[in-house]
Structure 1
Amino acid sequence: MKTASKERTLQWISNQYNKGNISFSHKLQRPIGQWSPKMKSLLIHSLLSGFPVNPIYCVEENNTIYTLDGSQRTSTCISYIKNEFALSKDTPNIVMKTKENGESVTKGYEIAGKKFKKLDSDVQNTLLACSLEFCTLSDYTDNEVKEMFRRQNNGKPLNSKLLRIVNESDQFSDMVYSLTTHPFMNKLVTKTQRKNGTDRDLIIQTLMLMETNQEHEFVSFRGKDIDAFVSDYADTISQDKIDMLKTTLDKFDELLDEVKIPVTSIPMILYSGYRIVKDKKSFPKLVEVVEEFLTKYDTNEEYKVFVQSGTSGQENVRGRFDWWRNKIRSI
C-alpha cells in the first residue's frame, strides 16, 4: 500500500464535489451530517485561525475520491461554502492580516451567526484559500484499507458497533450499507444512533433473525454473538432474502409516515415485514398490527417483560421474537 499527501484548498474541494468527483458514500464511513452546529463552527473557526486540522484519508476509484476518514470535516466545509448553515452565535471573532492602503494591518472580524455569504469578502477569500491535507491510498487491498481504518480509530471513542466493520467481508459490508442508507431508516433511527453505529447493528440483528431456523439459532444480540454471526455466517445469506428485506423497507416507508419504535423492537418488526413479504401476506394488515403495538406499548405487560433489563440477552430476544412470530401467524 502506498500513500501520497497533497494540500487541497476549500475552493478546489468545493469545485470537485460539485462536479461529482468527491463522494462520501464509502462503506467504511458513517453518513455525513453527524456533527452538531457547534462542532461545524469550530472547524471553520479553526481553519480561519490557523489551528491544525487532521488529514483526510481517502481512496480514488474510477476518477472519484472516496473519503475513508474525514467525511464530516470535508462535507462541513462544502456545506458551509454552499451557505447551508450559519456559524454558532458563540463562535469567537478571528484576527487576520490584510492590506489597507498598501500596508499590512491586523484586523478583527466577527463571524458568529453568519453564513458564508454574509462574511466579509476578505474572510471569504481566506477561507476558500484554506486547505485540508488529502492523504490518498493507492496499490491497496481491501484488507489494508480496513486495517488502516482500524488503526486510525484505535485511540478514538469508536465503539464496537462501528469497529465491527473491519471484520466483515466486502460483500457483507456493501449489503449492510445498502440497507442502512434506505430512506425508511431515517424514520427509525436518530442522528445520534447513526453516529454510534446503532443503525448497522439493527440491520445485522434483523438478518440474524431472518437466518434463525431449526438448525441455527441467532437470538442473542450480545456483542460477541453479533461478531460471531458476522465472521462465521453472514456471507451465506442469499441475495433473495436481501431483496425481500429491501422490499420490506420500501413497503414500510410507503405506509408509515412517522414512527417511533423502541430500538429493542426494530429488528423484530423488520423481520415481521420480511416474513409477510416472503409468505405473500397482507402488508397493510401488518402495519395495523405495528400501529396497535405502538399505541398500546406502555400497557403491554406481556411484552414489557422482555424489555426491562438485559434486553440483548438470549432469553429476552427470544421472548420478543416469539411474540412477533405469533402476531404474524394470525395475519
Structure 2
Amino acid sequence: MTDSVQSNHDREIRTTAVDFSFGELLNLHKDGEIIIRPEYQRLFRWSNEQRSRLIESIIMGLPIPPIFLIENDDGILELIDGLQRTSSVLQFLDYKAINQPELILEGCDFIKDINGETFSTISTVLRLKIKRTPIRATIINKSGDAFVKYELFKRLNTGGSLLSAQEIRNCSSRMIEGGADFYELLQRLAQFEPFASTISRLPESMVEQRANEELVLRFFALVNSRHTFKGNIEEWLDGYMESILFGLGNFNSHAMAALFEKTFNAIFDKLGNQAFTRFNTHGEATGRLAPAYYEAVCVAFVERYDDLIDVSADDILSRLRAAFGSDRFKSATGPGANTIPKLHERIQVVQEYLCAEIAA
C-alpha cells in the first residue's frame, strides 16, 4: 500500500493506492464496506458480450484499468470510477449479491470454449484465478477537500466514452455536501409529466444519458445565469451548477421548482410536444427537440407568462411557427449560434412573435 499527497496551492488531496482482488471486492461489497451506487454510472450499460470479454481478459491475464473510490466520513468506500468493470466481474462471481441476472459468457473470441459457461460451471482453476486477480484501487481519503474531490471526479471521467456530460454532473455533485439534494431536484423535475411530455421528441438514447435532466439544469441556468454564458454549453452548465453547489449564488429550490412547474404547465397546455422543434412547409412539427428552440421558448414563457397565459393554444402555435420560420430566428440558430448576442436574439424573436408584437 502506498500513500501520495498532491498539492494545489492551499488545497491538498490524500490518496491511498491498494490492490484488491476481485474476491476481496465482492466480500467488501457484501459486508457493506464498499458501496456501488448506480447513480454514479448506470449499473449495466455494457452488453453481455462486453462483460464476457472482460472476464475473458482476466482469464488471459491482461491488465485491468484501475478503479477509484472515495472514503466517506464513516470510513465506507464509494466506487466513483470503474463501476462497469467492477460490477461486471461481481455479477459473474455472485450475481445475487448485486441483484442481477446470472452472467452467461458469450462473444469471447480468444478462449471460445468458455462461451456458454457461468461461474458455477467453469473449472475450479479459472474460478480461483478470477477471484484472486488483483485490480489497483486509488482511494481518495476523507481528509481531502470537497472541491478537489469534485474536480477529480470530473477529470477522471471527462472525455471518456462511458459517461455523458450530465452523468458526470450527476456523479460529481454527490461529492459535495448537499449536492445530492440539488441533483435529486433535477431528477424529480425531469419526471414532471408536463415537462416530460413537452420534451418527448428528445431521443430515448439521449434520455438514457440524462439529457432530460440536463434540460432542467439548462432551464435554471437560462433563468438565473444567462449573463455567464460564453459560448460553451457544457462549461456554462458546469459553472452554473458549481455556483449552486459551492454556495456562490442564491438558489431557492422551492421557488425555482414552483417556477419550473408553472412554466411547463403553460407550455404543455399551449404547445404540447410541438414547443421545441422545427416545422415543415406544411406547418407540421417535425424532427427531434432542438436545444436552441427550447431556450427561446422557455425564457419567453417565464418572462412573458402574464401576456401568454390567456392566449389560445391555436394562436400561440401559429405565432410560434412564424417565429421559428423567421429569418431573424434562423440567423440566431444557425452556424455560430452559441454566442450571447444570438442567444438573446432568438429569445427576443420568440417573445415578440408569441406576444403578437410581430404579426404571425
TM-score by length of 1: 0.61
Q: 1:56 and 2:71 equivalent?
A: no
Change (3 A) 1:37 1:245: farther
Query: Structure 2: how far apart are the matches of 1:244 and 1:192?
Result: 26
State the Cα distance separating 1:53 from its structure 2 match.
0.9
- Give the unaligned 5+ runs of structure 1: 95-107
**1:226-237 residue pairs with structure 2 within 5 A?**
229=240, 235-237=249-251
User: 1:73 is matched by which residue type in structure 2?
Assistant: R
Q: CA RMSD in A?
A: 5.5
Tell me what 1:68 maps to.
Answer: 80
SS of 1:52 mapped into structure 2: coil
CA contact (8 A) 1:10 1:128 kept: yes
State the Cα distance separating 1:74 from its structure 2 match.
2.3
Q: 1:265 and 2:265 equivalent?
A: no
CA contact (8 A) 1:248 1:270 kept: no
CA contact (8 A) 1:221 1:317 kept: no
Change (3 A) 1:257 1:209: closer
Change (3 A) 1:17 1:264: farther
Change (3 A) 1:236 1:266: same
Query: Structure 2: how far apart are the matches of 1:226 and 1:34?
Result: 25
Name which of 333, 353, 360 aligns with 1:307. 333
State the Cα distance separating 1:275 from its structure 2 match.
7.1
State the Cα distance separating 1:265 from its structure 2 match.
3.3
Greater RCO, 1 or 2 (C-alpha within 8 Å, sep 6+): 1
Q: For this pair of structures, how many residues does the alignment match?
A: 300
Tell me what 2:7 maps to.
Answer: none
User: 2:101 is matched by which residue type in structure 1?
Assistant: N
User: For each residue in 1:31-90, what CA deviation from the matched residue of structure 2 results, as whole angstroms up to 9, or x when unmatched?
Assistant: 44444665444323222322111222112335653222212322333455433776564x
Identical residues among aligned pairs (%): 14
Tell me what 1:208 maps to.
Answer: 221
Query: Structure 1: how far apart are the matches of 2:28 and 2:174?
Result: 34
SS of 1:236 mapped into structure 2: coil
Q: 1:222 and 2:248 equivalent?
A: no
Tell me what 2:122 maps to.
Answer: 121
CA contact (8 A) 1:57 1:136 kept: yes
SS of 1:72 mapped into structure 2: helix
SS of 2:64 mapped into structure 1: coil
Name which of 251, 257, 276 aligns with 1:243. 257
CA contact (8 A) 1:56 1:70 kept: yes
Tell me what 1:137 maps to.
Answer: 140
User: 2:347 is matched by which residue type in structure 1?
Assistant: F
SS of 2:249 mapped into structure 1: helix
State the Cα distance separating 1:245 from its structure 2 match.
6.2
SS of 1:136 mapped into structure 2: strand
CA contact (8 A) 2:54 2:85 kept: yes
TM-score by length of 2: 0.57
